[in-house]
Amino acid sequence: MALDATAVRAQAIEAWEGDALGVLCDYLLIPAKSPAYEPDWAAAGHLDRAAELLADWCRSRLAPIAGSRVEIVRLPGLTPVLVLEIPAFGGGHRPADSDGRVEPTVLVYGHLDKQPEMAGWSEGLSPWNPVRRGMRLYGRGGADDGYSVLAAVTAIESIHAHGGSHARCIVVVEASEESGSPHLPAYVDALRPRLGRVDLVVALDSGGPTFDRLWTTASLRGLVNGRLDVRTHEVGIHSGGFGGIGPSTFRILRRLLERIEDAETGRILLDEAHVAIPASRVAAARALATLLGYDAIAARVPFLPGVTPVDADPAELVLNATWRPVLEVTGIEGAPPIASAGNVLRPSTAVKLSLRIPPTVDATIVATALARALEAQPPYGAHVGYELIEHASGWSAPETAPWLVEALEQASQAFWGAPAGSTGEGGSIPFMGMLGAMFPEAQFVIMGVNGPGTNEHGPDEFLHLPSAVSITAAVAAVLDAHRVHGDEPAP
């Protein structure tokens, strides 16, 4: 590693104990919920406030770098996107290929929108108030994903300060990721000329099963979210007088869901939602299960006493969470709180369905099949409607170039003191699928600070500050290695 690893780590520590931590705390105060959870986001102004806050900090840090540019791009009716452009710096490979193609670009990705509050925060903690306890900074959006642009800029600063080099960098921070990135395709089209020839993508919206090494993400599941409505009569009526004459909308809902999911096993019954898992991914899951063990994998879920995972084989648990489809009911309407629930045959029940799908499955095909299965021949002639809210296909990483394998291993040893690891991720980053299609020859590094107990999307979400330090340093190391070795072909 040409870069001074000790100095890079020291600068990352200084940032995450200083101004990067300070601006992140200010960001945590802003309820910048994603548009799916804040339909009137433009009037609320929180996403714009978050973008301006981060942009101001980036301008102050990048001002000494000649030719750098910080801009908030706004398309009509769409959430803002923060775009940073930093010219190539230092030695390394040629600024353009010998065949005359344009200068290579590194694209660094993050997002600034947040999930909603969620109930259940511990005493003294809340989603919109930053609280530091030891090496944990609590608050919604710190780990997912406000830290990302701060890490990227700090990494670039450390390259300039400590003998490194980097190719031209574009940092894109969107504001609709938690809604499935519905606004991003329009921005990708608008920014396409500025992106140039992207040959390395670094995404900072992931994590790993432990904090003891650098974990990169080899695959991401896709997502199909929608609303299912069941209606049978106009108003609530006496359950004693009419129960047994009118059907329960909840029972009808159960029957519809049984078309999608086997209630006994949890297996998804839509053929379109399944794919043959590649042998290499199965082998990787078994290796991960051997490394971590059953207890560590199961402990990632905060089970109540006596509750067990859905399978006793840790490798199967890994595959369930990364390569198999799974359904969750994430919201319900039409049922009052128990304290105010009278003896009423309710006229309607609605649920929000979140279907995670394998990385290589087409989300559009699954969404069509799901709607068809739910709406066909409704029981008792009930009024059944399924509305697609969002959908995004997953992503599976291309084979990693030897130079990048070496760079990741060296970074993990330098900044964690352990070998690098790779695993699939059950969540989604829709932008990765878009970039994979746009730049099929690009290399991808997806990593992040999420780990055991960080509970992104849930209560008590926290940023693990030592991970922020190490990820920041690792970004610098990867950018430096890419500048020197990025011309070497992938296998």
As a whole number, the mean pLDDT across the chain is 94
Residue 296 placed within a domain: no
What Cα–Cα distance (Å) separates residue 103 from each residue in 90, 97, 158, 198, 314? 14, 7, 22, 9, 45
pLDDT tens, position by position, 90-105: 976 545 454 445 689 9
41 and 62, same domain (yes or no): yes
Q: 362, 393 in Cβ contact below 8 A?
A: yes
User: How much is the pLDDT for 406?
Assistant: 97
Q: 362: domain range? A: 223-275+323-391
Residue 286 placed within a domain: no
381 and 398, same domain (yes or no): no
User: How much is the pLDDT for 94?
Assistant: 47
CA angle 295, 206, 103 (to 5 degrees): 145
- In this structure, are strands 344-345 and 237-238 parallel, antiparallel, or unpaired? antiparallel
**Placement of tokens 């969750």 in the chain:** 328
In which element (H, E) is residue 293 found?
A: helix 279-298
Task: Give dist(CA 149, CA 205) in Å, integer.
Answer: 11
Residue 303 placed within a domain: no
144 and 51, same domain (yes or no): yes
For residue 357, pLDDT beyond 70: yes
Q: What is the mean pLDDT of residues 77-83?
A: 98
Predicted model pTM: 0.89
379 and 399, same domain (yes or no): no
Residue 280 placed within a domain: no
pLDDT tens, position by position, 250-298: 999 999 999 999 999 999 999 999 999 999 999 999 999 999 999 999 9
Q: 106, 89 in Cβ contact below 8 A?
A: no
Q: What is the mean pLDDT of residues 99-124?
A: 89
93 and 140, same domain (yes or no): yes
Q: Coil, strand, or helix at residue 80?
A: coil
337 and 436, same domain (yes or no): no
Whole-angstrom Cα Rg for the chain: 24
What is the number of structural domains in the chain? Answer: 2
Using the 3D structure, point to which of 391, 416, 433 is the last residue of a domain: 391
370 and 254, same domain (yes or no): yes
For residue 488, pLDDT beyond 70: no
pLDDT tens, position by position, 122-151: 999 999 999 999 999 999 999 999 999 999
263 and 190, same domain (yes or no): no
Residue 461 placed within a domain: yes
256 and 172, same domain (yes or no): no
The first and second tokens of residue 478, run together, are 């990867």
Using the 3D structure, point to which of 391, 409, 440 is the last residue of a domain: 391
Residue 59 placed within a domain: yes
Nearest CA to 229 among 253, 248, 251, 247? Answer: 253
342 and 404, same domain (yes or no): no
69 and 152, same domain (yes or no): yes
**Placement of tokens 């600068």 in the chain:** 11
For residue 387, pLDDT beyond 50: yes
Using the 3D structure, point to which of 347, 373, 391 is the last residue of a domain: 391
Q: What CATH number is associated with residue 338?
A: 3.30.70.360
Q: What CATH number is associated with residue 175?
A: 3.40.630.10
Q: What is the DSSP letter of 206?
A: -
Task: Give dist(CA 372, CA 362) in Å, integer.
Answer: 16
Nearest CA to 469 among 418, 411, 428? Answer: 411
Task: Give dist(CA 2, CA 127) in Å, integer.
Answer: 41
150 and 231, same domain (yes or no): no
Residue 112 placed within a domain: yes
pLDDT tens, position by position, 38-58: 999 999 999 999 999 999 999
Residue 490 placed within a domain: no
